[in-house]
Amino acid sequence: MIIVTGADGYIGWPVLLRLADRLPDERIIGVDNFARRRWVEEIGSVSAVPIMTPSKRREKVEELGNVSFVEGDLTSKEFVEMLIKVYQPDAIVHLAAQPSAPYSQISWEKAVYTQYNNNVSTLNLLWALKENDMLNTHFIAATTTGVYGAPEYPIPEGFYEIEYKGGRDVVPHPHMAGSFYHMSKCNDINNMYLAYKQWGLNVSDVRVAIVTGATTEEAKDELATRFDFDFYFGVVTHRFCAQTLIGYPLTVYGKGLQGKPFITLEDCVESFVRLAEKDGSGYQVYNQTLGAVKIVDLARMIQEAAMEEIGLEVEIKHVPNPRVEKEEHEMVIENSNFKKLMNGKIKDLKEAIRDIFATLESRKSVIEAYKDRFLPKALLGER
């Protein structure tokens, strides 16, 4: 029995579908309260790709025969208690969260909501496993590479050896979050690591990078996953592709020399499925990334792909950086655990960019209609 939380989300939906296909004899339970749909609607945007209503999704996925979809809020102790008691999972793939750093920075209210939603959900799951004597469950959680900040040294996978005043130990990497969302994931990590140390819970802590892509083999056409392109929920790759498709320049913040970690949607989904197929062992950290790419190099990659795939020329325009971050950063991030999980085969970012153009080319009218949700104000009056 495997529970997938956040099963209506961008990553959660294809994970649910792939688990159902890969493990036909296993019962798969999808859990969501459909909050992501409300958050995106609240900030005035939509998924560029049409997705089924919650009721239609439930109907479709349950036709697979080995999937049940349960609607509920993980911040509710009573709901989580019921979930764990009834289904007694062998593994939990915990993908439910408010995942947007910009959304968490909007206001006092949004910062508090983000941390309450994310941290209480995780704590409820951890304590429900303990209180129901289910500490053999493999707890697989999506955290983020954003907890590392931007240190000027190679970033390890979760832990590093430190020497100080004659002493030596292996310690968790310090948390240097850059938003209230990222800090919520730091808190999740602390709580999961405590559950491992005190109770012996087996945890796979997946530090998710910037996920890029529109489809997977299972999640496309009628079963498509959502695709956000707005400032709050659309990652930089998706915003750049959206700008390209409606004829605007790619707006690189500052010099664009900030190194950022990326991963394709395909590899993101596949790694969670592979972990769900395995037994947990201690506290394992996976830096889920193909490595760092500088933002200006990403823009050039998209510029090249736009010409090759859809015959569009696009300009790169540097604009003032609205974010508090280093103007230049050589991010070096270790990912040996992740590479081993993926058998050394990690997909190139260009593949995901081509997938985005192929998927969105017919959706230009939707992107144009919501361009004020992702274009800098300086560009909105240019056409």
Residues belonging to the active site: 144, 181, 185
Within 10 angstroms of residue 27's Cβ, the number of other Cβ atoms is 15
* Pairing mode of beta strands 250-253, 28-32: unpaired
Q: What is the DSSP string of 320-358?
A: ---S-S-SEE---B--HHHHHHTTT----HHHHHHHHHH
CA distance 341 to 280: 13
CA distance 180 to 99: 10
Contact 261, 209 (CB under 8 A): yes
Question: Which residues have C-beta within 8 Å of that of residue 38, sequence separation ≥ 6?
Answer: none
CA distance 167 to 206: 29
Helical residues (DSSP H) of 251-324, grouped into ranges: 265-277, 295-310
- Bridge partners (DSSP) of residue 68 are 29
Tokens of 382: 């240019």
DSSP E strand stretches across the chain: 2-5, 28-32, 67-71, 91-94, 138-144, 159-164, 167-172, 202-208, 210-212, 250-253, 257-264, 283-288, 291-294, 316-319, 328-329
CA distance 361 to 357: 6
CA distance 127 to 81: 9
Give, rounded to a whole angstrom, the gap between the first and last alpha carbons of the chain. 54
Tokens of 119: 């941290």
Tokens of 139: 């707890």
Q: Taking each helix axis as running N to C, give the angle between helix 108-131 and helix 77-87, from 0 to 180 degrees, rounded to the nearest 10.
A: 40
